[in-house]
Amino acid sequence: MNNDASQKNPSRRDFVKQTSLLAGGLAAAPFLSRANYFSGADDTIKIALVGCGGRGTGAATQALATTQNVKLVAMCDAFRDNLDNCYKNLTADDMSESTGKPGNFKNRIDVPESRKFTGFDGYKKAIALADVVILATPPGFRFMHFDEAIKQNKHVFMEKPVATDPAGVQSVLATAAIAKQKKLNVVVGLQRHYQNSYRELFKRKDMIGDITSMQAWWNNDGVWVRPRKEGQTEMEYQMRNWYYFVWLCGDHITEQHIHNLDVINWFKGGYPVKAQGMGGRQVRKGKENGEIFDHHFVEFQYADGSILNSQCRHIPGTMSKVDELFVGTKGKIYCGAAKITDPAGNVLYQFDKKGEPNPYQVEHDELFAAVAKGEYKFADAENGAKSSMTSILGRMATYSGQIVEWDKAINSGLDLHPKTYDWTAAPPVTPNAEGYYPIAIPGVTKYS
């Protein structure tokens, strides 16, 4: 881990402003030619992994498992131990548990010590060495890593969510416009778009007529907690235990429930215009649980007046459900069951999920196939930003207890991030003398 306290970055507000200006001034910029797709003379597609935690390791595994001629050439993480663990897992003799096939990826990995980067700014060096960049750090860093990748003319796979606040959303939207101008492929890890059952349901959504109401769930026990260790600065602790801090995670309504919200937006062909809801911390109330809620219930309204009732909960011992339901004038779509029924419950369509390929793998297969062919096929960043904003809108509604309108929220300039990124800098929220963090209070917390 690089603990160099001298690492300083410009303020985030200056960064977001600069990104927007770049997008606005790019209208006359030329498109990249096919010659820009690779940095080397051969047909090897070079990959850089930025973010070496569990999801980064998984995404790299899926990229290496594609049929294209790929090679992992650079890795970066804020913490050296994360990078080392990831490298050890990716170079294991037997990868069958991860891939379902015998063998390993050793001949597809060439990451010497000189191409292993740590700290806050190592991502720039890793990105420079690749053709395709995998962005899988905690979501709070996504906007700046995406910006750098597009500046360096790289194709991108980035995990969801792509932002944790409206300022980050605006930055990603600006960068997405630049990526389109440059014809750089961008895939976002909202993998339902790459899942055959969802694709087939989407093709047939008109079977239920006009969609009048929707329901979405992400209810389960919750995720890991990483306790504070002696000697950690507050910045390091929050980055280690990132799931529990809004600037890094966005709360679980953003980090996880975005999947369901994105499916609703996709099938509706639009985004909500306002939201109101409720939420709080009923069980997950310890110092180690930072500042996020353990449950949210949000009523989203779309432009046509239709309503999405959305719920997400992280409470052990409660009902678990991750699914979406569409109710239309002529029937219903049950996404998890991959079926469409009429109002009486008669099955109109049933997708056979037997043998359905893993959508996490499909998204990489399709991205790398496009890159190998020199094709421009994927522009997921704009939707990724707006679906991230949908979840942020819901969080703003539950935190405040007020009706929050999309236009006001996305243009609010709300920026939750540090002014500088440094191991000794104070994060945006800090604990009180007893070690507890400030928690949003509905009816008290304001966004306007």
> Can you say whether the dihedral through the CA atoms of 244, 246, 249, 251 is positive or negative?
positive
Pairing of strands 332-334, 211-220: unpaired
Which letter, b or e, does each residue of 287-298 get, where b requires 16 or more Cβ atoms within 10 Å of its Cβ?
Answer: eebbbbbbbbbb
**Ordered structural domains, the chain, with CATH:** 12-192+360-380 (3.40.50.720), 195-353+389-410 (3.30.360.10)
The length of the chain is 448
3-state SS class at 424: coil
Cα separation, 380 vs 190, in Å, equals 9
Single out the residue of 180, 152, 169 nearest to residue 36, CA to CA. 152
Asked if 137 and 50 count as a contact pair (C-beta separation under 8 A), the reply is yes
What does each C-alpha distance from 266 to 190, 271, 383, 396 come to in angstroms?
A: 11, 9, 9, 22
CB atoms within 10 A of CB 90: 24
Q: How far apart are CA 110 and CA 82, in angstroms?
A: 18
Instruction: Assign 197 to helix, strand or coil.
Output: helix
- CA distances for 340 relative to 207, 306, 348, 352, angstroms: 8, 19, 5, 12
Task: Quote the distance between the C-alpha of residue 190 and its chain's center.
Answer: 7
Task: Round to the nearest angstrom and report the end-to-end CA distance of the chain.
Answer: 40
The torsion angle over the Cα atoms of residues 245, 250, 252 and 258, rounded to 10 degrees, is -170
pLDDT tens for each residue of the chain, 448 residues long? 333 333 444 444 454 444 444 444 443 333 343 334 444 447 999 999 999 999 999 999 999 999 999 999 999 999 999 999 999 999 999 998 888 888 999 999 999 999 999 999 999 999 999 999 999 999 999 999 999 999 999 999 999 999 999 999 999 999 999 999 999 999 999 999 999 999 999 999 999 999 999 999 999 999 999 999 999 999 999 999 999 999 999 999 999 999 999 999 999 999 999 999 999 999 999 999 999 999 999 999 999 999 999 999 999 999 999 999 999 999 999 999 999 999 999 999 999 999 999 999 999 999 999 999 999 999 999 999 999 999 999 999 999 999 999 999 999 999 999 999 999 999 999 999 999 999 999 999 999 6
Neighbouring residues of 375: CB distance < 8 A, sequence distance ≥ 6: 185
- H runs (alpha helix) in 374-428: 381-400, 406-410
CB 156 within 8 A of CB 132: yes
| Contact (CB, 8 A) for 341 and 331 | yes
